[in-house]
């Protein structure tokens, strides 16, 4: 479990931080939150959908697992097996979280704090953040702004009655019943096609229309998700990382351009 600690000049002026070596922190994650700004990069690689929060609101997500404790996009040695890394995974080991009073606080995974001088510092001597932590704060802030836009787009789809429950069945061979995934929702394409021009324009104006089509297009990646599940279940753990590199290709890590938002 990640243990977040608030970063302060008082306590951490001379502390150093250890960069993440891979994606072990999401190795058992089954879904990943997705931003409106990255839907064009996500749809060719992931099945996407919506999950419902306790307050009834919907969050846009990518499926990275089919149950159990295996993220199908993380190799045995914790490399990301895909051409694009979702934005929500790129700030680790940093995060901006709410404190007990609801204030935004810059945090670090406590396990990545160190006094080892071979690692970079959090702060400069004058108390300002070093470049990488400062850039990360900026990146997280932009992601949070876009997350709010994404939530508004999801809410618009919900208000238009376009989000329906989606029972996903993953085939497991002739002698086994399919694996059922519940709790994921999708866009109802038939209802979307019945909307009039005014309703479509309203959805377009809040980013909900491209989000709806991105979700529909992404369902074509279900075969890839199934192939990943089968590959991981059959592969020799000692050979899987190298084999997967060849199977899924090498990516640039992905970038987000917020200038167009």
Residues 207-237: pLDDT tens digits? 999 999 999 999 999 998 888 887 777 764 4
Q: What are the pLDDT digits (tens) for 68-92?
A: 789 999 998 999 998 899 999 999 9
Q: Which residues contact 24 (CB under 8 A, 6 or more apart)?
A: 74, 78
Q: What is the pLDDT of residue 206?
A: 97
Structure tokens at 197: 């021009």
Q: What are the pLDDT digits (tens) for 150-161?
A: 999 999 999 999
pTM: 0.84
Q: What is the mean pLDDT of the chain?
A: 87
Angle at alpha carbon of residue 227, lines to 225 and 228, rounded to 5°: 65
What pLDDT band is residue 172 in, cutting at 50, 70 and 90? confident
Q: Comparing C-alpha atoms, which of 39, 88, 86 is closest to residue 213? A: 39
What does the alpha-carbon distance between residue 49 and residue 212 come to, in Å, rounded to a whole number?
9
Residues in the chain: 261
Q: What are the pLDDT digits (tens) for 234-259?
A: 764 444 333 333 333 334 444 444 33
Top-confidence residue, 117 or 245: 117
Give yes or no for a contact between 60 and 33, defined as CB atoms under 8 angstroms apart. yes
What does the alpha-carbon distance between residue 49 and residue 210 come to, in Å, rounded to a whole number?
13
Q: What is the pLDDT of residue 258?
A: 38
100: pLDDT strictly greater than 80? yes
What pLDDT band is residue 1 in, cutting at 50, 70 and 90? low
Give yes or no for a contact between 50 and 154, defined as CB atoms under 8 angstroms apart. yes
């Amino acid at each position: 479990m990640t243990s977040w600690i608030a970063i302060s000049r008082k306590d951490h002026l001379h502390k150093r931080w250890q960069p993440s070596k891979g994606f072990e922190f999401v190795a058992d994650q089954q879904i990943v939150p997705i931003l409106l700004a990255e839907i064009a990069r996500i749809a060719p690689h992931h099945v996407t959908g919506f999950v419902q929060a306790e307050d009834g609101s919907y969050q846009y997500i990518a499926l990275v697992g089919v149950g159990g404790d295996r993220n199908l996009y993380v190799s045995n040695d914790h490399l990301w097996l895909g051409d694009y890394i979702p934005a929500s995974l790129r700030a680790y080991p940093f995060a901006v979280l709410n404190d007990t009073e609801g204030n935004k606080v810059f945090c670090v995974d406590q396990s990545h704090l160190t006094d080892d001088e071979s690692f970079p510092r959090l702060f400069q001597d004058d108390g300002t953040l070093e470049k990488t932590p400062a850039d990360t704060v900026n990146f997280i802030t932009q992601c949070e702004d876009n997350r709010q836009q994404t939530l508004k787009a999801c809410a618009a789809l919900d208000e238009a009655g376009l989000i329906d429950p989606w029972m996903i069945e993953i085939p497991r061979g002739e002698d086994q019943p399919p694996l059922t995934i519940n709790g994921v929702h999708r866009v109802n394409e038939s209802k979307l096609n019945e909307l009039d021009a005014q309703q479509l324009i309203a959805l377009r104006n809040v980013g909900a229309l491209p989000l709806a089509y991105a979700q529909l297009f992404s369902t074509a990646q279900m075969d890839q998700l199934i192939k990943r599940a089968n590959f991981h279940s059959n592969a020799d753990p000692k050979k899987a990382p190298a084999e997967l590199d060849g199977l899924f290709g090498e990516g640039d890590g992905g970038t987000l351009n917020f200038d167009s938002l």
